Amino acid sequence: MKKKVLALLFTVVLLSSCIAVKEYKKIYLNDPDMKLAAHQNERFEGNFQVYREGASGANGGKTGGGCGCN
Amino acid sequence: MKRIVIIVLTLFAVSQFVSAQISDSSLVYKKRVLESTEIDLLMSLYNQDGSHSPVNGGLGTEKLTNGTPTIVLSIPLNANDVLTIDAGISAYTSASSSNINPFWSAPSYYKNAGLTNITSASRGGGGNVITAPTGPITPTTYNTIGTPWLASTGASKSDILKAVHADYSHSTDSRNFIWGSNLSYSKEFDYTSYGFGGNVTRLFNDKNTEIGFKGTAFLDKWKPIYPTELREYKDYGVNFQSSGYFKGVKVYNQSGIASTSYLPSGFKEWDQTGRNSYTLSFFLSQILTPKFQAALFFDLVIQEGMLSTPYQRMYFSDKPNYYIGAISDIPNYTSPTNHRVYQLADAIEVLPNSRYKLPIGARMSYYLNEWFVLKGFYRYYIDNWGLKAHTFNVDLPVRFSQSFSLTPSYRFYLQNQIDYFAPFETHLSTEQYYTSDYDLSKFNSQQYSLALNYTDIFSKFRILSLGFKNANLKFSHYNRSDGLTANILSFGIKFVANGK
């Protein structure tokens, strides 16, 4: 567990040390297709995957609430 | 549903009024977190089929259809605060759930099958022995039958889940710190869920780095519905064949001989019906280059309470088998051609009353060129029920113009089984925990998707005071290695109020 925490902290430090991209250079990053989140309507897909599979979470989606039993 | 619609429309009207007041009285211009109220209209249509229904102990039809109309309203309360209301329903019909009560009166079964006047077949031997009928069907000719391979007409064949979620978020003037809170409620016939939570997000390094924490709690409650034969056993004990629903109905053993020995003594009602879920989430997103960004997600989920589903039947290998229906179909019970006999349950699924889940995921998106964007996702999952899983997903948006893009996607998922899973009739009654739910078995799945996205940057197309902003249409086909297949079509369209 300690190793995992250290690896996570190392990743945080590593990533935060990257060169900052200025706002006016974010034209590609601001493209709608570059979003790191899913489209609103893709939530339904995430819901059925939570119901039909044993794993869930770490995806910004549903992790509890509702029985998911049909 | 009417109430939800009225509430949503009222909030929309109020937001328009408040927004107008604020914009009239603002003396100093400050860019708002959300310029105008946004409305998302969402819809999905889902269907699935499979042959491992957990309601029948791991076999039988899993046909299911589901429709989910939903509206999401994002309202700027002022320059810094946004309220989001998300309301919708999920209406489903499920062959699997319908078989909580799988028993038909034979006349209605044949009537539904269109067999109302059969002239060429042998007559049944009386009692529950159902063979193809001769002559007009009458209520006295046949008795009770059932099958795990067809949907029943039971009350549980369909239901509507109503859900509403409210989220409030506040951004500081620098836009480098955001906090928020949320409330949620959902209700279906046998399950009610209350949720609440809070979140904080910090941006720094010229908004190149973002770190967030979120905590959520769901306090849920079951209204347990048990399989019909177990419910009757609970109500009438050993006399259940001479009282209540099964009065006068014959039960047969594996040899097809009428018996009164069916005693599901392994069945126990749940006396604690709450289910609580607590989630702590952490995320870190980082811009790595002007064309590349990535994010890490980490959740800790703790669930406690009734984590079993009360109507999922169990059949033990060390208990004798008993049936209701046509004895001629007993040897053929596990075949989809069996349409006339149903095996009575030994018990219901029992799973531990606590579960700890640890998923960790990573996302990335890379701008290849003006035509292509590459997006990836990976997740590793582990829990204390013995489940480990890997999920991979790749999207490749192809951009045809400033407005249109087409996104093909592929998703691969792999899991082992939990410690408490075994297929139909292979568990022993001496085990402490048991389930035959194939959602928790060992399998892999593949999903192929195609999405069409349209963005109207300047909201040129308008309906009344609403400007069209974007639309997304997506179709996915899902294959699970145990034979379950599913299709989902989802659609979303966003409008912005007073959009120009």
pLDDT at B3: 58
pLDDT at B6 over 60: no
Number of other CB atoms surrounding residue B305 within 10 Å: 19
Predicted ipTM of the assembly: 0.82
B193: contact with A, CB 8 A cutoff: yes
Average pLDDT over residues B8-37: 57
B399 vs A22, A33, A53: nearest CB: A33
Q: Report the C-alpha gap between B240 and B342 in whole angstroms.
A: 17
Closest CA to B474 of B497, B452, B445: B452
Average pLDDT over residues B223-245: 88
Reported as a single tens digit per residue, the pLDDT across B186-216 is: 999 999 999 999 999 999 999 999 999 999 9
pLDDT at B13 over 60: no
The answer to whether B428 and B395 have CB atoms below 8 angstroms apart is no
Reported as a single tens digit per residue, the pLDDT across B93-121 is: 999 888 999 987 766 666 555 554 433 33
Q: DSSP 3-state assignment of B198?
A: strand
Please name every residue paired with B84 in a beta bridge, in sequence order, or none if there are none. B74, B167
Q: How confident is residue B145, by pLDDT bands cut at 50, 70 and 90?
A: confident
Q: Report the C-alpha gap between B315 and B229 in whole angstroms.
A: 13
Contact B44 A41 (CB under 8 A): yes
B492: contact with A, CB 8 A cutoff: yes
C-alpha dihedral sign at B250, B256, B258, B264: negative
Q: Report the C-alpha gap between B290 and A25 in whole angstroms.
A: 6
Mutation for testing the A interface, residue in B42, B213, B410, B482 having most A CBs under 10 Å: B42
Q: Report the C-alpha gap between B312 and B60 in whole angstroms.
A: 12
B361 vs A40, A59, A66: nearest CB: A59
User: Which chain B residues are Cβ-neighbours of A8 within 8 angstroms?
Assistant: 296, 298
Q: β-strand B404-415 against B443-455: which pairing, if any?
A: antiparallel
Q: How confident is residue A8, by pLDDT bands cut at 50, 70 and 90?
A: low
The answer to whether B399 and B373 have CB atoms below 8 angstroms apart is yes
Average pLDDT over residues B151-180: 91
How many Cα atoms within 13 Å fall on the side-chain side of residue B339? 10
Q: Report the C-alpha gap between B444 and A21 in whole angstroms.
A: 40
Please return the burial class of B311, using the count of CB atoms within 10 Å of its CB with bins 0-12, 13-18 and 19+: buried
Q: Report the C-alpha gap between B60 and B336 in whole angstroms.
A: 7
Instruction: Give contacts of B 391-410 with A, CB under 8 A.
Output: 391, 397, 399, 405, 407
Average pLDDT over residues B24-29: 48
Average pLDDT over residues B313-327: 95
Q: Report the C-alpha gap between B231 and B236 in whole angstroms.
A: 9
Average pLDDT over residues B129-134: 43
Enter the tokens of residue B228. 């019909």
Average pLDDT of chain A is 75
Mean pLDDT comparison of B27-36, B305-314, B461-470, highest-scoring range? B305-314
* Single-letter amino acid, residue A13: V
Residues 6+ apart with CB under 8 A from A2: none
- Dihedrals phi, psi of B303, to nearest 5 degrees: -120, 145
Average pLDDT of chain B is 87
pLDDT at B234: 87
Give CA B309 to chain center in angstroms. 13
Average pLDDT over residues B394-405: 92
pLDDT at B58: 97
A31 vs B159, B367, B387: nearest CB: B367
User: Which chain B residues are Cβ-neighbours of A66 within 8 angstroms?
Assistant: 161, 163, 186, 191, 193, 220
Number of other CB atoms surrounding residue B473 within 10 Å: 15
Reported as a single tens digit per residue, the pLDDT across B278-307 is: 999 999 999 999 999 999 999 999 999 999
pLDDT at B464: 81
Q: How confident is residue B71, by pLDDT bands cut at 50, 70 and 90?
A: very high
* Single-letter amino acid, residue B26: S
Closest CA to B382 of B414, B359, B400, B404: B359
A15 vs B46, B275, B286: nearest CB: B286
Average pLDDT over residues B147-169: 90
* Single-letter amino acid, residue B403: S
pLDDT at B134: 46
Mutation for testing the A interface, residue in B61, B373, B479 having most A CBs under 10 Å: B373
Closest CA to B286 of A57, A3, A14: A14
Q: What percentage of chain B reaches a pLDDT higher than 90?
A: 72
pLDDT at B436: 97
B189: contact with A, CB 8 A cutoff: no
Q: Report the C-alpha gap between B98 and B155 in whole angstroms.
A: 7
Please return the burial class of B76, using the count of CB atoms within 10 Å of its CB with bins 0-12, 13-18 and 19+: buried
Residues 6+ apart with CB under 8 A from B152: B95, B98, B99, B101, B102, B103, B104, B146
pLDDT at B28 over 80: no
Reported as a single tens digit per residue, the pLDDT across B344-368 is: 999 999 999 999 999 999 999 999 9
Please name every residue paired with B158 in a beta bridge, in sequence order, or none if there are none. B93
pLDDT at B221: 95
Q: How confident is residue A4, by pLDDT bands cut at 50, 70 and 90?
A: low
Average pLDDT over residues B441-450: 98
Q: β-strand B103-105 against B117-118: which pairing, if any?
A: unpaired
Q: How confident is residue B155, by pLDDT bands cut at 50, 70 and 90?
A: confident
Contact A53 B491 (CB under 8 A): no
Q: Is B206 left (phi over 0), alpha (psi -120 to 50) or beta?
A: left
Contact A28 B291 (CB under 8 A): yes
Q: What percentage of chain B reaches a pLDDT higher than 70?
A: 86
CB pairs under 8 A between A and B: 217
User: Within B127-277, where are the H helices?
Assistant: 228-236
Enter the tokens of residue B33. 């977190």
pLDDT at B183: 96
User: Which secondary structure element, helix H or strand E, spans residue B284, and what is its range?
Assistant: strand B274-289
B490 vs A33, A42, A69: nearest CB: A42
Q: Which is more confident, B324 or B498? A: B324
Contact B357 A25 (CB under 8 A): no
Enter the tokens of residue A2. 């300690």
User: Which chain B residues are Cβ-neighbours of A40 within 8 angstroms?
Assistant: 40, 42, 72, 472, 492, 494
A33 vs B161, B275, B373: nearest CB: B373
Contact B43 A41 (CB under 8 A): yes
Q: Scan for tokens 């500081």, then name that residue.
A: B172
- Dihedrals phi, psi of B125, to nearest 5 degrees: -85, 10
